[in-house]
Structure 1
Amino acid sequence: MTTADQVRTERTEARPLRADAERNRLRIIAAARDLFAQRGLEVTLDDVAAHAGVGVGTVYRRFDNRDQLIEGVFVEHLHEVATRLTAALESPDTWNGVVTLFTYVGESMAGDRGLASVMMRIDHTAPAIETAKLSMTSLIEQVHQRGVSEGVLRPEIERTDFFAFFTMLSSIAEVTESTAPGTWRRYLELMLDSIRADGTRHPLTVPAMTDEQIRAAQAARCRTR
């Protein structure tokens, strides 16, 4: 049976329960993220179906093509960030909420090697992405306002600075994780010290990169271009 025949067959089956459909969607996205990290963005939807352990028609029912799947992976990432932002707002300790949020951003980029490629590939003006970003921006504004009003963030910090903070963490995690794992945590510590309202400084717990690690990181980056 061809892929097209499989798709037609599965589309004639009864619609799955909503909970089952959502579980399958998340399995597909998780499988895609895993394959993107291992093999790049050129994997097929058939590859993703096999890796997710679902029928190929289940994948095509959710995503018409690979670009839609790539977009879906990024939208899910934005939803995860929004969940962390909500948790930061709900934390009784505002500063701890900020630290947890920033740590998650670094961990997600360090742990998901395909995410950087996804971010470069997708159309950031796509409606689904714009909607997810609007929700995330609103939450960032609330985290920022709470941090400043409670005196844990420097008053000069603006809401839009969060974009730069996240980008810096994402970039250092992407560049160094394969050659100097965990290095991004050093720069997270420096960043957090720089935005504290009380001006306190804490000892750095992660050593600086060696010259050899820097050369290895530069070589690895050249190979991926």
Structure 2
Amino acid sequence: MSDLGPSGTRADAQQNRRQLIVATREAIAARGLDVSALDIATAAGVGVGTLYRRFGTKEALLDYVVLGLYDELCEAAEVCLERVDPWDGLVEFVMELAGAHRDSRGLAEVTAACERPPSPELAQRTAALQDALVRLTERARVAGYLRADVTWQDIMICSRSALDTDHCLGVDAGPDGWRRVITILLDGMRAPGHTTLDGPGPQVRPAG
């Protein structure tokens, strides 16, 4: 019996690849992008040489995993755009984005990085997520649910508010406290708004 997978790759090589991807997702979720190739390989139960054979470099493996996380968010956004109620769709996506930031320290690091130009693949997915949030925002605004002075950029920035909501001055928010914070922020964006927003608001930084 052949030990080749459907793509002609040995079954054990495919298994090693899957293990490396899972181990990398777990590693960057807990520790961010500053993980070593040895740590990833050890967690995957393979040698470092296997990592390099399957992906070439540690950076290529990290990029592959991060792009996968972005793709999951893009898929979630498209589902939210199909929701009948525009406000429900917007809230659902913001919760997905906020939860993704909470679940993966590495993803949160990448979405906040502006010091160097993103790869073409990452730039494409970033644009797709921005476009999805623009459409979600406009749907909610046209339906009369969203304040006229709240922009999609405001909402994007607010999605990161879940990252530092665990403890403050002896108060413990609990494991799901971040959801309350996001809900309160979103309710503050609902029409009609009562307080005029100061300043020009957040802007998209040009790539490069």
TM-score norm. by structure 2 comes to 0.68
Cα distance, 1:101 vs. partner? 1.1
Runs of 5+ consecutive residues of structure 1 not aligned to the other structure: 1-12, 200-225
> 1:216 corresponds to which residue?
none
Q: Which amino acid aligns with 1:104?
A: E
Point out the more displaced range, 86-95 or 63-72: 63-72
Runs of 5+ consecutive residues of structure 2 not aligned to the other structure: 194-208
The alpha-carbon distance between structure 1 residues 104 and 131, as it changes in their structure 2 partners (threshold 3 A), is same
The alpha-carbon distance between structure 1 residues 155 and 39, as it changes in their structure 2 partners (threshold 3 A), is closer
Cα distance, 1:38 vs. partner? 4.0
Q: Does 1:93 align with 2:93?
A: no
Once the two structures are superposed, the pairs formed by residues 103-118 of structure 1 within 5 Å of their partners are 103-118=95-110
- Is contact 1:33–1:115 with CA below 8 Å preserved after alignment? no
> What are the superposed Cα offsets for residues 73-129 of structure 1, whole Å, 9 maximum, x if unpaired?
322222122112111101112111112112112222223344334556795522111
Point out the more displaced range, 106-115 or 117-126: 117-126
> Aligned to 1:128, which of 121, 127, 132?
121
> What are the superposed Cα offsets for residues 134-177 of structure 1, whole Å, 9 maximum, x if unpaired?
211221221122111111211222222232122333x335x65x
Cα distance, 1:70 vs. partner? 2.5
For these two proteins, the number of residue pairs brought into alignment is 185
Q: Which amino acid aligns with 2:128?
A: S
Q: Does 1:146 align with 2:139?
A: yes
Q: Which amino acid aligns with 1:77?
A: L
3-state secondary structure, aligned to 2:176: coil
In structure 2, C-alpha distance between the alignment counterparts of 1:183 and 1:41, rounded to whole Å: 25
- Is contact 1:88–1:101 with CA below 8 Å preserved after alignment? yes
In structure 2, C-alpha distance between the alignment counterparts of 1:61 and 1:168, rounded to whole Å: 39
Once the two structures are superposed, the pairs formed by residues 151-190 of structure 1 within 5 Å of their partners are 151-169=144-162, 171-172=163-164, 176=167, 180=173, 181-190=175-184
> 1:8 corresponds to which residue?
none
Q: Which amino acid aligns with 1:97?
A: G
In structure 1, C-alpha distance between the alignment counterparts of 2:7 and 2:102, rounded to whole Å: 35
In structure 2, C-alpha distance between the alignment counterparts of 1:23 and 1:30, rounded to whole Å: 11
In structure 2, C-alpha distance between the alignment counterparts of 1:85 and 1:132, rounded to whole Å: 12
- Is contact 1:24–1:54 with CA below 8 Å preserved after alignment? yes
3-state secondary structure, aligned to 2:152: coil
3-state secondary structure, aligned to 1:160: helix
> 1:33 corresponds to which residue?
25
Cα distance, 1:186 vs. partner? 2.5
3-state secondary structure, aligned to 2:191: coil
**Identical aligned pairs, as a percentage?**
30
In structure 1, C-alpha distance between the alignment counterparts of 2:23 and 2:67, rounded to whole Å: 15
The alpha-carbon distance between structure 1 residues 58 and 146, as it changes in their structure 2 partners (threshold 3 A), is farther
In structure 2, C-alpha distance between the alignment counterparts of 1:56 and 1:121, rounded to whole Å: 28
> Aligned to 1:194, which of 188, 194, 197?
188
Q: CA RMSD in A?
A: 3.7
Point out the more displaced range, 40-49 or 103-112: 40-49
